[in-house]
Structure 1
């Protein structure tokens, strides 16, 4: 496979997304993020410390804000070696069989970079949002054996406003359509299928776009596409925050939001393949996982909403994903 002229560009793109989106969230909330950097110690355990040439790993957190109850943010640019015999598909990396054939039974070099946000607003009328984009390559820097882009953005509302869903999807469709009219329907379907909780028989949220193992076509076009995706999240999500942040809500609305948060936790712990791969490979610090969890969550036995209620309407959409456009 032709070597992509990507590393050294895409890590800067993701760092720019990280900084710009944090700045926008701070401006809305009027509260600042805290920051923690991490390195591997001699035993391969994550420990707090200054980043090195091989490892840039930054977590940021905003808790108990004026608009956001909790925001977990992460930026990574890291190179190292995969554990010998790691099977990428089975461990959750979503890579193809071709990538697994390259890794085999030996330890092999990799480079990975990406940025992710999980945003849990205080007002239950604002949806939780997730955005993550990443680049991964296997093999030596001078001639990677295999590489791909992955990521996407999606919404998890507690209360469904159709105009918000349409807006979020429309912004992402606009980016996709600039490059390939097949992208949006393809990536929207992938999003619905990936962010699904099997034991609940329902989606985690109302979708967005999601792709992985994206490496077919012109490398520079793919780089431009992913760059534009990183820029699309703020205009897709922030107008929704502005529209809903001052709406009134009840204690009952807040409790329902905590039930939705419970579903979010269930997905991360039981169904998120990317998390399994990150922990198995040592690329993900468990503290980053906890950082993206909601600060409050509830579970209730057989939590059936009242027929005809807003909560029941949302639950129906989660069980039967809709086409928003």
Structure 2
């Protein structure tokens, strides 16, 4: 694959930024509209936005992005929404991992890469409101391109109706692209978001894809866009339903212990965390997913 895909790169990174703007606005609106129940008398929080930079080995421009974090709100205890577009050359370890996972030919002759995406993790004030994760991304090398991402729900107190709504919304957005996508991506999420040393899933699942390339860029990008579009209608109604429920100290304790599972997964198994740290991206942005407080028994 010799093309640099310049138009496609710009289109994808522009979409991720647009989706980021929509989500930030929706989450600040949830802060504003929380009028009854726990913490409703507190001031609504706002996102703090800062630029991030990828550190290259030779000091050259290697891209970056925006890190947007909101802390201590009425509804959100900590939520981060990051976008980035980074580029450069893959180091030997990253090249080896890429070849092993994707079956790519040796990249030493041209180890360039470009990657852009959006990454979101929300940890909530009310234990009845589920934590959530979403990301979508595009990755390019001179040898191949692909998309990845999805979203998954991480409640500490599970409600079957909430799980059903989250999954049904994902399915509705995937079905126009082919009936096989939702069951495949659901199974993929169940496999990926599993914590082997705990012998359990991180949450109640969702959808996930990686290394996705049908060789039709426009179709794959449209699918990736609809994975992103599914997020707000899948998640916001659950926040609106649960944010005013009262909760006990025992509920809060359950929440903090569940967050420990989330932290363990992201630090030990998550491929995005490993890739971001190994390729020199801003560590604070990479580790934005970690909860503000957690507990281990």
Alpha-carbon spacing, 1:15–1:212, altered in 2? closer, same or farther (3 Å): same
Alpha-carbon spacing, 1:246–1:81, altered in 2? closer, same or farther (3 Å): same
Q: Matches of residues 1-325 of structure 1 in structure 2 within 5 Å?
A: 6-29=8-31, 30-40=44-54, 55-84=63-92, 86-87=94-95, 89=97, 95-98=101-104, 101-103=105-107, 105-106=108-109, 108-139=111-142, 145-282=143-280, 284-300=281-297
Alpha-carbon spacing, 1:168–1:157, altered in 2? closer, same or farther (3 Å): same
Indicate conservation of the 8 Å contact 1:82/1:107, yes or no.
no
Tell me by how many angstroms 1:240 deviates: 0.3
* Aligned position for 1:318: none
* Aligned position for 1:306: none
> Is there any run of 5+ residues in structure 1 with no aligned partner, and where?
47-51, 140-144, 301-325
Indicate conservation of the 8 Å contact 2:54/2:86, yes or no.
no
- Secondary structure of residue in 2 paired with 1:58: strand
> Is there any run of 5+ residues in structure 2 with no aligned partner, and where?
32-43
Tell me by how many angstroms 1:22 deviates: 0.7
Distance 1:211 1:70 in 2: 26
Give the number of aligned pairs.
283
Tell me by how many angstroms 1:274 deviates: 2.2
Tell me by how many angstroms 1:78 deviates: 1.7
- Secondary structure of residue in 2 paired with 1:87: helix
Indicate conservation of the 8 Å contact 1:74/1:116, yes or no.
yes
Distance 1:285 1:88 in 2: 22
Tell me by how many angstroms 1:55 deviates: 1.5
Distance 1:84 1:264 in 2: 29
Deviations 1:243-295 (A, max 9, x none): 0000011000000100000000000111112211221122x321113322111
Root-mean-square deviation (CA, aligned residues, Å) is: 2.1
When normalised by structure 1's length, the TM-score is: 0.82
